[in-house]
Structure 1
Amino acid sequence: MKHYPFLEPLTLNNGITLKNKIVMSPMTTMSSFYNGMISDDELDYYSIRSSGPGMVITAVANVTDDGKGFEGELSVSNDDMIPGLKQLADVIKKDDTKAILQIFHAGRKSNSKILRGNKPVAPSSIAAVYPVDSETPKELTDEEIHDIIKAFGQATKRAILAGFDGVELHGANTYLLQQFYSENSNQRTDKWGGSREKRLTFAMEVLKEVHEIVEEFSNPSFIIGYRMSPEEIEKPGITLEDSLYFADKIKNKVSYLHLSIGSYKRTSLNNPNDKTPIITQFAKTLDNQIPLIGVGSVESPEDAEHVLSYGGNLIAIGRELIREPKWVQKVQSGDLASLRTSISPFDLDELKIPRVMQTYLKESFYDVMNFTTDKKNGSNYQSKLAPMEGFEKKL
C-alpha cells in the first residue's frame, strides 16, 4: 500500500499536532436556524465527515447581527449561541480532529432583506461590483469600526468557551476584512484607509484583539488562522503582490494561512504571463515559518500530493468531502477503488447533506459537483473565480 506524506502528522508553531495534513474546508451549509443557532441537520452533516481530517474548519459564523451575509448562516454574535456551538465542537473533535470556528463580518456583501431592513455596512459607501444589483452600504464610523473589532474578540471568547481548538478569521471572498484591504471598497482618508499600509490597519487591529482575548481566556495552544483571497479582478482591487505583502505582514501573528481559490493549479488571473502557481508564490513568502493551507478542486490522493509539491503544508478538501465523507479513512486503508468522486442527486440525503445545502449545491455549484446527472461533464476553476470567491448566488 502506498505511503502518502499528507497522512503524516504536522505540528503547528504553538505545539498543537494535527494527526494528518488534511483539512476539511469551510463550506456554506445555509442550514442554521433563522437566528444563527446550529441545527441538528448541520450536526449530522459534520458528524459523518469529522473523524478523518486532522482539522475541520466550520462554515462561517457572523460576529455581529449586521455582519450576517446570507440566510441560514451560523452565528457567534451572542452568548445564546454557545450551547449549540459546544455541540458542534464536540461533534468535530471526535477521534482527535481539531475543531476550528471560522468567523467573519460580511460587510457590503449583504443586503437589507437579509439584515431585516437595515443597510449593510462597509469601509466606504460604495456598492460591490458583483452582483450587479448590490446595495450601496453605509460607511462605518470610527466608533462602529472599533465595535466590530471588539465583536471579533468576543466571538473568539465564545469559541473558546464552546471548546473549539481555534478560530479562523475569514479575510477572503470579498467580506469585510478583505473590504478594508481593498482599494476598490476602501476609499477612506482616515487611519483606516488610503495607503496599502493603512488599509491593513483593520485586519491588524482584529488580530491584536483576538490575541488579547486568547491570552486572557485560553492558552498559546489556541489556533488563530487567517483566510485570504489572493486577487480581486475589480479595478482597482487587490493584486497578487498586495496579498503576498499582506501574508508577509501577518505571518508572525497567525498559526496558519489559508488561501481561498477554486483550483490548487490556479495562476494569476490578472497577469496571464505569470505562470507560477499561486500556492508556490505564497509558500515562498511564508518560507515555512507557518503552515500554508493549499486548496481547490482536490479530489484524489494525487491532487493532494500535488498541493504539497507546489509548496502547501496542509491540504484543504471541500467538495470531495461532501461526496465522500470517509475520504481520509479510505485512503489510509488503501481502499481507493471505492472513493466516490461523483455524486448522485438521489444520494444527498444518505450523505447527510442538509436540504437547503442540497439546493445551494445544485444551483450554485452544479457544474463542479460532478453530479452523475451532469451531461456536460462538469467544469473547473483553474482560470476563473469560484462562486464562493465573490460571485455566489443567494437563495
Structure 2
Amino acid sequence: MIALDKTLTFRRGLTLKNRVVMAPMTTRMSFYDGVVTQDELKYYSLRTGEVGAVITAAANVQEGGKGWEGELSVSSDQFIPSLSQLASTIKRNGTKAILQLFHAGRMTDSKILRGVQPVSASAIAAERPNAEIPRALAEDEIFGLIEDFKKATQRAIQAGFDGVEIHGANTYLIQQFFSPHSNRREDQWGGSLEKRFNFINQLVDAIIAVVDNSKVKDFIVGYRFSPEEYEEPGINMADTLYLIDRLADKKLDYLHISLGDFKKVSASEDFKGKSILQYVHEKINGRVPLIGVGDIRTKQNAEETLTNAELVAVGRSLIIDPHWTSKVMEGKEDIIRRVLADQDREELVVENGILEFLKIMMPDRLR
C-alpha cells in the first residue's frame, strides 16, 4: 500500500510532497470576464499548503468556450497577471499549482456566450433540459482550437504554474469529440473509434510539444477523463480502455479519472467484476501515474483508492474542512469537520462529481 505522505516524482521532474491533490472544483468566483478575484484567492489560500498539489477550477481557452458565469479564463495574455497571483497563492509550503484547461463545447448556451451559438464536434444537442443545438466546428476552427490550447499552455507557464491538466472529462468539448453521441462527423475527426480519438491525439501532442519546446523545468501535463456516459450511443468502458491505452503511451505525466465514487462499478455487463478504477489502473499498467477520486472522506477511503492509483484527489472533504489533509496525516481524524451547516448545504450542488459554489462560502460558516 502507498503511504499518503510518500513523495511522487513525475517524468518531467516535478515532485509532489505527498499523494493528496485537491480535486478541480468549479467555484464561480471569477469576475464576469474571467479575471481572478480576491475571494477566489482566499478560497484557494485556505485549502493549499497541506496537499501535494491543487488543480484549479476549469479555465476556458476561448471566449466561446465559456461554460458558466464566474469562470476562470486563460484565453488571452490579459489574464496572465491575475493567473500569476493565483499560482503564487497556491504555491505555499511546497504545494504545486496545476491549471485546468477546457472548452465547454455544447455544455453552455447562447446566454452565457452573449448571443453566440455554442459549438461542438457535431450539431447534436446534449441530453439535458433546455439544451441548445450547437454548431459543428469547421476543420479550420478545430485546428484553431488546438492552437488556442497551445497558447493557453504557454500562458500557464508564464504565469508560474507547475503544470496544466487537459480537461477531457465531464461531457465538455474534448470529451464531445470522443463521444459517439456528440460526434457524428464523417471526416478525419469522427466516425470510427480511431477517428473520434484524432482530436484528443493531436491536442495532447500539441500541448506536450509546447511544454517540451519551452524548455521549462519541472512543468507537468495531465489529462482528465470520464469513463462512461449515460447517453446511447455514448462512451463505454471499452472505449475508455482504448483511450487510456493510447494516452498512457504518450509523454503525459499523469491521467486523472473523474468519478463520483472511487468504488463505482461499470454500467456495462462486461465490466462488473471489478471497480472502474481497478480496470483503468490495470490497463495503464504502470506506464503513467493515475489520480483516483470519488467521495474520499476518510484516511481509509484514501488508502483504498491508492491500491488502484498513485495519487488521490479530494474534493468535498476539503470544502468542508480545509485542513482535512493535515488532520488525516497526523492521525487526528476525530476532529475533522464532516458536515456543513444547513444554510451552507443548500448552497452547494454536486453535478458530475464537481462541487459548485452558488455563493461564496467562508470557513467561519462551517461547523
> Which bin holds the TM-score, normalised by the shorter protein?
over 0.9
Cα distance change, pair 127–389 in 1 and its aligned pair in 2 (3 A): farther
Cα distance change, pair 212–227 in 1 and its aligned pair in 2 (3 A): same
Q: Distance in 2 between matches of 1:394 and 1:128?
A: 23
Indicate if the aligned counterparts of 1:174 and 1:390 stay in contact, CA closer than 8 A: no
Aligned residue identity for 1:324: D
- The one of 189, 194, 198 equivalent to 1:197 is 194
- The one of 319, 333, 349 equivalent to 2:330 is 333
Residue deviations 1:316-369, cap 9 Å, x none? 0000000110111112222221111112146x6xxxxxxxxx8751xx23xxxx
Residue 227 of structure 2 corresponds to 230
Q: Distance in 1 between matches of 2:211 and 2:15?
A: 19
Cα RMSD for the two superposed structures: 2.0
- The one of 66, 69, 72 equivalent to 1:68 is 66
Residue 168 of structure 1 corresponds to 165
How much does 1:388 deviate?
A: 2.5
Residue 381 of structure 1 corresponds to none
When the two structures are aligned, how many residues end up with a matched partner? 358
Q: Distance in 2 between matches of 1:84 and 1:327?
A: 27
Residue 175 of structure 2 corresponds to 178
Instruction: Show the 5 A alignment for 1:1-395.
Output: 5-129=3-127, 131-219=128-216, 221-253=218-250, 254-271=252-269, 274-309=272-307, 311-345=308-342, 360-361=347-348, 364-365=349-350, 387-388=351-352
Q: Distance in 2 between matches of 1:206 and 1:276?
A: 31
Residue deviations 1:63-109, cap 9 Å, x none? 00000011111000011100000000001111111100001001000
Equivalent position SS for 2:51? coil
Q: Distance in 1 between matches of 2:207 and 2:117?
A: 27
Cα distance change, pair 4–222 in 1 and its aligned pair in 2 (3 A): closer
Indicate if the aligned counterparts of 2:22 and 2:53 stay in contact, CA closer than 8 A: yes
How much does 1:390 deviate?
A: 9.4
Cα distance change, pair 220–187 in 1 and its aligned pair in 2 (3 A): farther
Aligned residue identity for 2:224: R
Equivalent position SS for 1:143? helix
Equivalent position SS for 2:149? helix
How much does 1:48 deviate?
A: 1.0
Equivalent position SS for 1:304? helix
Indicate if the aligned counterparts of 2:294 and 2:353 stay in contact, CA closer than 8 A: no
How much does 1:212 deviate?
A: 1.9
Aligned residue identity for 2:208: H
Cα distance change, pair 186–220 in 1 and its aligned pair in 2 (3 A): farther
Equivalent position SS for 2:18? coil
Q: Distance in 2 between matches of 1:200 and 1:249?
A: 9
Gaps of 5+ in 1: 349-357, 366-386
Indicate if the aligned counterparts of 1:28 and 1:60 stay in contact, CA closer than 8 A: yes
Residue 369 of structure 1 corresponds to none
Aligned residue identity for 2:331: G
- TM (norm. structure 2) is 0.93
Indicate if the aligned counterparts of 1:240 and 1:268 stay in contact, CA closer than 8 A: yes
| Structure 1 stretch displaced more, 262-271 or 74-83 | 262-271
Indicate if the aligned counterparts of 1:70 and 1:394 stay in contact, CA closer than 8 A: no
Residue 365 of structure 2 corresponds to none
Residue deviations 1:214-250, cap 9 Å, x none? 1232436211000000001111110111011100101
Cα distance change, pair 390–176 in 1 and its aligned pair in 2 (3 A): farther
Cα distance change, pair 67–359 in 1 and its aligned pair in 2 (3 A): farther
Aligned residue identity for 1:13: R
Q: Distance in 1 between matches of 2:77 and 2:342?
A: 37
Equivalent position SS for 1:58? strand
Cα distance change, pair 341–394 in 1 and its aligned pair in 2 (3 A): closer
Q: Distance in 2 between matches of 1:345 and 1:252?
A: 47
Equivalent position SS for 1:7? coil
Residue deviations 1:229-280, cap 9 Å, x none? 0001111110111011100101132110000010001010243871310110
How much does 1:394 deviate?
A: 9.4
- TM (norm. structure 1) is 0.87
Cα distance change, pair 197–12 in 1 and its aligned pair in 2 (3 A): same
Q: Distance in 1 between matches of 2:232 and 2:329?
A: 45
Gaps of 5+ in 2: 360-367
